[in-house]
C-alpha cells in the first residue's frame, strides 16, 4: 500500500489580474489607512476646538489612537483571513470601516470621535491584512518586496495629496465631510475588488480557527528571530515616525508658522518616502533586501544624528530649509526600511500568512503608539523631541534589525 504525500505548502499562483491593475487595486485598498490618517491632519485644531478637546495631546489621539484600533483589528482579521478567505475578510472590514465613518461624521464630542476612529481602524485592518496575505499568496521573497515597493509608490501618493484633500474639503464644506470622502473611496475600492479580483486562498488551504492553534502560531512566531527582530525594528522606527506624523500640524503651523503651506510641505516629505519605494522596487531584485536594509540602517542613523545636531545648534528650531532638507534625506532611508522590513518579517510565515501578517502588524502598532504618545508629550515649541525620538528609537531599530539579519543569514528562510 503506497502512502500519498500531500504538500501543504502554499504555492504562489499566477495573479488573475495584470500586474499593473493588481498593484493599483492593492494600493487603493491599503491606501484607505493613509487616507484615514493624513486627511485629518489639517483639521486637527478645528476639530479639537469644535469638540472641546482638553489639550493638544488629546487632539493628537485622533491620529495615534487609529493605530490602536488597527492593532486589535489585525489580531481579529489575521486568523479570519486564514479561516474564511481573503474576499470575505475585505468585505467585513469595509462594512465595519463604513460604520466607524458614520460614527465619526455624527460625533458630538471628542470622545465619540475617538470611538469612531477606533471602529474605523478596526475595520480598515480587514482590507490591509487581507491584501498583505493575498500578496503573500501570490509572491514571495524579493519578488514580494518588489511588488510591495511598487504598491508603496502608489500608496505614498495618498499621504502626499490627503492633507490637501482634507484642507480643501474642510474649507469648502466643513471637516465632517472629510469622512464622506473616506466612505466614497471605500465603496469604490470594494466594488473594484469584488468585480475583478478572485479568491487566492483555496478552501483546502484554509485553517479552521481555534484559540489553541492561534496561540500556538503566536508562540511559534515569537520564537522566530527574523520575525521578532524585523517587527521590533519596524515598531520602534515607526513609533518615531508616528510622533512626527501626529505632530506634523504643530511642527509646520505652530513652530514654523507656515499656515496653508502645511499640505505642500507635508507632501514634499511624503514624496521622499515614495521615491525611496520606487528606488527599492527597482534595486531590491538586483541587490536583495538584506543589502538594502543594511545600508539604510546606517544612513538612517546618520540622519538622526544630524537632526539632533541641527536641533541643538539652533535651540530646537533650525531654519525651515535645513529642517526640510534633512528630513527629506532621512525619510528616503526610512522609506527603504519600510519597503523591506515587512517583507523580511513575513518571509518565514508563508504557511500562516494571515496570522503572521496580523501578529506583525498588531505588534508593530502596539509598540509604535506608546512611543509616539511619549514623544508627542514633549512636543510644543521645538523639534528637539522629534529629533531625539528618531535618534533613540532609530538606535533600537538598528540593533534589532541587525539581529534579524544575522538570523536570516544563518538559517534558510521559507521560499
Number of domains composing the chain: 1
Which residues constitute the domain of residue 299? 19-198+211-410
Quick check: is 69 in a domain?
yes
Sequential pLDDT tens for the chain (415 residues): 444 444 444 444 444 677 788 888 988 898 899 899 999 999 999 999 999 898 888 999 999 999 999 999 988 888 888 888 999 999 999 999 999 999 999 999 999 999 999 999 999 999 988 888 888 787 766 677 677 767 766 666 788 889 999 999 999 999 999 999 999 999 999 999 998 888 888 888 887 777 787 888 889 999 999 999 999 999 999 999 999 999 999 999 999 999 889 999 999 998 898 788 778 878 887 888 899 999 999 999 999 999 999 999 999 999 999 999 999 999 999 989 987 998 899 878 767 766 787 788 889 989 999 999 999 999 989 999 999 999 999 999 999 999 999 988 876 544 4
Asked if residue 3 is part of any domain, the answer here is no
Give domain status of residue 67, yes or no.
yes
Q: Confirm whether 1 is domain-assigned.
A: no
Residue 338 belongs to domain with CATH number: 1.20.1250.20
- The interaxial angle of helices 262-287 and 141-173, nearest 10 deg, is 170
Question: How far lies 260's CA from each of 165, 171, 407, in Å?
Answer: 12, 11, 47
Does some domain include residue 86? yes
Total residues belonging to the chain? 415
Phi, psi of 207 (to 5 degrees): -105, 115
CB count in 10 Å sphere of residue 288? 15
Q: Provide the whole-model pTM.
A: 0.83
Q: Is residue 123 in some structural domain?
A: yes
Amino acid at each position: 500500500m503506497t502512502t500519498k504525500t500531500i504538500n501543504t505548502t502554499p504555492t504562489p499562483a499566477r495573479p488573475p489580474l495584470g500586474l499593473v491593475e493588481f498593484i493599483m487595486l492593492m494600493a487603493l485598498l491599503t491606501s484607505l489607512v493613509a487616507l484615514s490618517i493624513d486627511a485629518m491632519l489639517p483639521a486637527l485644531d478645528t476639530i479639537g476646538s469644535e469638540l472641546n478637546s482638553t489639550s493638544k495631546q488629546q487632539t493628537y489621539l485622533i491620529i495615534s489612537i487609529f493605530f490602536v484600533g488597527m492593532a486589535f483589528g489585525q489580531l481579529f482579521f489575521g486568523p479570519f483571513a486564514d479561516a474564511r478567505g481573503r474576499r470575505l475578510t475585505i468585505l467585513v472590514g469595509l462594512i465595519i470601516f463604513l460604520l466607524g465613518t458614520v460614527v465619526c461624521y455624527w460625533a458630538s464630542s471628542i470622545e465619540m470621535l475617538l470611538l469612531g476612529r477606533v471602529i474605523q481602524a478596526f475595520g480598515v485592518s480587514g482590507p490591509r491584512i487581507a491584501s498583505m496575505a493575498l500578496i503573500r499568496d501570490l509572491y514571495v521573497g524579493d519578488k514580494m518586496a518588489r511588488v510591495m515597493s511598487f504598491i508603496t509608490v502608489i500608496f505614498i501618493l495618498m499621504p502626499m495629496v490627503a492633507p490637501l484633500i482634507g484642507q480643501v474639503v474642510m474649507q469648502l464644506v466643513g471637516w465632517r465631510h472629510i469622512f464622506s470622502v473616506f466612505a466614497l473611496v471605500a465603496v469604490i475600492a470594494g466594488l473594484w475588488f469584488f468585480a475583478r479580483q478572485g479568491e487566492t486562498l483555496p478552501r483546502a488551504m484554509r485553517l479552521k480557527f481555534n484559540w489553541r492553534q492561534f496561540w500556538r502560531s503566536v508562540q511559534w512566531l515569537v520564537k522566530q528571530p527574523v520575525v521578532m527582530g524585523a517587527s521590533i525594528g519596524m515598531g520602534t522606527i515607526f513609533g518615531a515616525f508616528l510622533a512626527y506624523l501626529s505632530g506634523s500640524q504643530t511642527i509646520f503651523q505652530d513652530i514654523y508658522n507656515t499656515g496653508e503651506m502645511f499640505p505642500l510641505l507635508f507632501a514634499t516629505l511624503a514624496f521622499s518616502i515614495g521615491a525611496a519605494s520606487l528606488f527599492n522596487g527597482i534595486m531590491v531584485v538586483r541587490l536583495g533586501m538584506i543589502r538594502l536594509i543594511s545600508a539604510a540602517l546606517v544612513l538612517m542613523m546618520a540622519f538622526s544624528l544630524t537632526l539632533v545636531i541641527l536641533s541643538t545648534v539652533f535651540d530646537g528650531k533650525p531654519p525651515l530649509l535645513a529642517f526640510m532638507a534633512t528630513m527629506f534625506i532621512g525619510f528616503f532611508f526610512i522609506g527603504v526600511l519600510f519597503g523591506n522590513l515587512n517583507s523580511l518579517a513575513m518571509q518565514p510565515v508563508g504557511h500562516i500568512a494571515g496570522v503572521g501578517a496580523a501578529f506583525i502588524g498588531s505588534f508593530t502598532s502596539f509598540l509604535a503608539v506608546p512611543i509616539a504618545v511619549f514623544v508627542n508629550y514633549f512636543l510644543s515649541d521645538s523639534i528637539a523631541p522629534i529629533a531625539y525620538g528618531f535618534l533613540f528609537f532609530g538606535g533600537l531599530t538598528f540593533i534589532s534589525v541587525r539581529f534579524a539579519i544575522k538570523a536570516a543569514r544563518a538559517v534558510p528562510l521559507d521560499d
